[in-house]
């Protein structure tokens, strides 16, 4: 799965030339918008294309040049917005920001290169605009972008859940040294209810498991009661 913008040339052989999708893995076409121009980075807009929005990515295929097309995964779209401010861009459009691998590095060369070079390094492109010839379609397009973006949360990597040692207080460090991570985080289902770990495929609407442990190790130690934290509950008793 590539990060950032990339070339897309896989079109069906029929006359329409729709993009070939990864249907085996469930990718579906959600919305088609003809007569859309695209502006990549700071470059001038490229006209006459069709926008295909799928459950995984946004694809723009040129009508004039059958070899030209761009695609970006929703996983790489940091944000998208309806831009109607003529000072920002002359035409109303969908403005998107693309997460690139080189995001940590300030890449100044993109500005100078994009003006003159034909061969564009798409992986460094950080902004992209989709300009429909019919501006009334903008709100619909924005909505479709939202819906499909929501279908693409961050995938949970395998290793993440095991080494998940959140520290909440200095006191916890004493407990962790002895207990390790054996009893505390072993829920029967996936432990997704930790703070900050809400991206993923897990259904957070399902009830959070209440951990019942009657283990002396989880009783409040004497010194903890002197902390006088407000609202410090003895949850383990419930």
CA distance 107 to 119: 17
- CA quadruple 42, 46, 52, 56: dihedral, nearest 10: -30
Any idea what the Cα angle at residue 94 is, between residues 91 and 96, rounded to 5°? 125
CA distance 104 to 155: 21
C-beta of residue 186 within 8 angstroms of C-beta of residue 179: no
* 208 is a contact residue toward other proteins (CB under 8 A): yes
Q: 51 has which bridge partners?
A: 33, 60
Among 205, 214, 216, 226, binds other proteins (CB under 8 A): 205
* 225 is a contact residue toward other proteins (CB under 8 A): no
Q: Which of 29/156 has CB closer to other proteins?
A: 156
Report the candidate in 160, 157, 151, 8 with the shortest Cα–Cα distance to residue 72. 8
The pattern of x and - marking residues 176 through 195 that bind other proteins according to CB under 8 A reads -----------------xxx
Give the total of residues touching other proteins (CB under 8 A): 44
Q: How many residues does the chain have?
A: 238
In sequence order, the 6+-apart residues with CB closer than 8 A to the CB of 134 are 35
* 233 is a contact residue toward other proteins (CB under 8 A): yes
Pick the stretch among 20-28, 48-56, 63-71, 77-85 that binds other proteins (CB under 8 A).
77-85
The pattern of x and - marking residues 137 through 176 that bind other proteins according to CB under 8 A reads -----x--xx--xx--xx-----------x-x--------
What minimum distance in Å lies between the beta carbon of 65 and other proteins?
Answer: 26
State the residues that interact with other proteins by CB under 8 A.
Answer: 77-85, 87-89, 95, 97, 99, 103, 127, 142, 145-146, 149-150, 153-154, 166, 168, 193-196, 198-200, 204-205, 208, 211, 229-233, 235-236
């Amino acid at each position: 799965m590539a990060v950032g913008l990339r070339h897309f040339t896989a079109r069906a052989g029929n006359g329409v030339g729709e993009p070939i999708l990864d249907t085996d893995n469930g990718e579906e076409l959600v919305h088609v918008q003809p007569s859309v121009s695209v502006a990549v980075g700071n470059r001038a807009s490229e006209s006459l294309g069709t926008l295909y929005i799928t459950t995984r990515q946004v694809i723009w295929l040129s009508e004039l040049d059958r070899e030209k097309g761009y695609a970006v995964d929703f996983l790489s779209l940091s944000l998208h917005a309806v831009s109607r401010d003529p000072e920002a861009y002359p035409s109303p459009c969908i403005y998107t920001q693309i997460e690139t691998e080189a995001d940590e590095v300030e890449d100044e060369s993109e500005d100078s290169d994009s003006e003159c070079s034909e061969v564009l390094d798409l992986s460094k492109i950080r902004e992209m605009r989709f300009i429909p010839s019919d501006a009334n379609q903008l709100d619909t397009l924005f909505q479709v972008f939202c819906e499909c973006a929501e279908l693409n949360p961050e995938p949970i990597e395998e290793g993440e859940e095991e080494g998940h040692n959140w520290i909440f207080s200095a006191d916890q460090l004493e407990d962790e040294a002895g207990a390790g991570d054996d009893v505390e985080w072993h829920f029967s289902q996936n432990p997704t209810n930790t703070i900050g770990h809400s991206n993923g495929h897990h259904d957070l609407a399902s009830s959070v498991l209440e951990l019942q442990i009657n283990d002396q190790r989880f009783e409040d130690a004497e010194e903890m009661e002197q902390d006088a934290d407000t609202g410090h509950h003895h949850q383990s008793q419930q």
